[in-house]
Chain A
């Protein structure tokens, strides 16, 4: 896997193989091997009162109960939208899911790696570890923001907050692994229990009731 230079990335954009937009300030936004990403306009704040704890078993329990699944999903986050000029505050210890302003579509032989910008990291703003963007991905990128500092951090839609580097996958994946139009328009909660059901079965007590 080799990292692509920004000039290579720009050529891919020009040929239409890769979509990355908008790029507002090429001079400052484009580095030798990375492009800065800006904060988008939606935030999903984790609600402390929404759930007592995160439990992957809930995902398997609610697998066939759409109403319960949806209810937990909706109540877990408070969703807010912001226009340019609005401010969102990230309090110490809190977690927020936000989209990038940029929309990205990757060809099948390129993957992206998103990391925090070091200047923000020094202020205590953490962006999820090793955010891999799979080849063929199409949509906004979800950033998981956490404030590791001791004072709240004000954030504004449009500010540069993360960066993405692109890597060529030496053996392109044969087909896109998810549907052709898995467009992601805004952050979504993940399914932490999916495909791990074997380890998440409810234990039954001797009288037949669930533990």
Chain B
């Protein structure tokens, strides 16, 4: 029989072996070392605690055992973070955005979160798992960005992770208070989400079946979900429309739950934000993009127009107040607020994809000089959606998966251009 202390130390050894197993595969070579070191530090801390704590410190021993269990789960996810399981060109671009958001405004000396990316077998399992630097136990918080494995190459659906980054941002200690006070509060002000009483009377209107515990949880969860949709839109730009409607539409009749508002309510709010931003008017200015842009935004506006009045949870004032505050929040973070896609660039990308080529390309000038533009990955994704909605597309053999892979290829090529340009800058003239 093992004594409790022997058992705990054996568990530490097992977790250490699991951690070593993560080295079997490479994922992001630049970040895997940091993640490995962080896990090793935590394991060492737990092991030290087990070595010095007496058996009568039951509460602390139990807490440390729980920490070990969490660490084991986390390492298990790292072990599955193989680069072959997700679209790394997209993940790299997203990780850069996430890092900028989560480190902006951090007090000096606070460790930057480490990101690791994994793929989950569950369909539709887009998620970002965050953690806090609880009581100095961890050196750097580890954030896990999770892609659904089955949607590996479907980069046109990946902008939904903009919504998940909204959760990550509000969980960051330096943003939490600000986003809560200045975005969530005006969003819910005088709405059914302001307090439980108002919420209950609204739930009665839609005949929702939530018990009191679920209702209490839903009030704050729904506020955050709706804020995350606005966050995702502003972060990922117009491509968020295609991703969110494609992923949510199959569930539009889903009843309200304690974690998420009904999908129809979300369509209504997303459409309100887009209308306020004037994206449709700006993007349809290019003649070659007009009809596809109209079809693209129509798919959402028609859904929104059919949302029964009782499901329109927030009014325009509430939505716009939250949107404007979020715009200025993101504008303060370099590159976070999605720029309006360059229409000439989008038209060229659409033309290339309809011809079966990647959207990003080295261009040759009249004097036969070569130039490589800087193309934001969010513009590539929007161009992908516009190509999908183009009248010419059905006459080609461009299936949704091929289109996604062309977009992914475009992001990869842009990554190569960025690597090259960074090197050139370092070399100097």
Contacts and interface: CB of A to CB of B under 8 A. Distances in A.
B240 to A, nearest CB: 25
Given A19-B361, A21-B358, A181-B398, A84 B88 contact: no
B212 interface: no
Given A26-B369, A38-B416, A179-B397, 17 more contacts: A7-B368, A10-B364, A10-B368, A16-B355, A19-B352, A19-B355, A20-B362, A21-B358, A21-B361, A22-B417, A23-B372, A24-B417, A83-B28, A84-B419, A103-B358, A105-B357, A158-B419
A131 to B, nearest CB: 21
Interface of B: 26, 28-30, 83-84, 88, 92, 352, 355-358, 360-366, 368-370, 372, 396-398, 402, 405-406, 409, 412-413, 415-417, 419-420
Q: How large is the interface on A (under 10, 10 to 19, 20 to 34, 35 or more residues)?
A: 20 to 34
Contacts of A101: 413, 416
A8 to B, nearest CB: 10
Contact of A185 (B357, B368, B409): B409
Given A21-B360, A24-B417, A83-B83, A183 B402 contact: yes
**Chain A CB within 10 Å — which of B83, B362, B402, B405 has the most?**
B362
A153 to B, nearest CB: 18
A22 B416 contact: yes
A179 B357 CA distance: 14
Contacts of A25: 420
B413 A21 contact: yes
Contacts of B355: 16, 19, 105
Contacts of A79: 84
Interface of A: 7, 10-11, 13-14, 16, 19-26, 38, 41, 79-86, 101, 103, 105, 138, 158, 179-181, 183, 185
Nearest to B419: A84
A41 B405 contact: no
Contacts of B352: 19
B26 A11 contact: no
Nearest to B398: A181
A56 to B, nearest CB: 29
B26 A181 contact: no
A103 B405 contact: no
A26 B368 CA distance: 10
B356 A183 contact: yes
Contacts of A85: 29-30
Nearest to B84: A81
B370 A80 contact: no
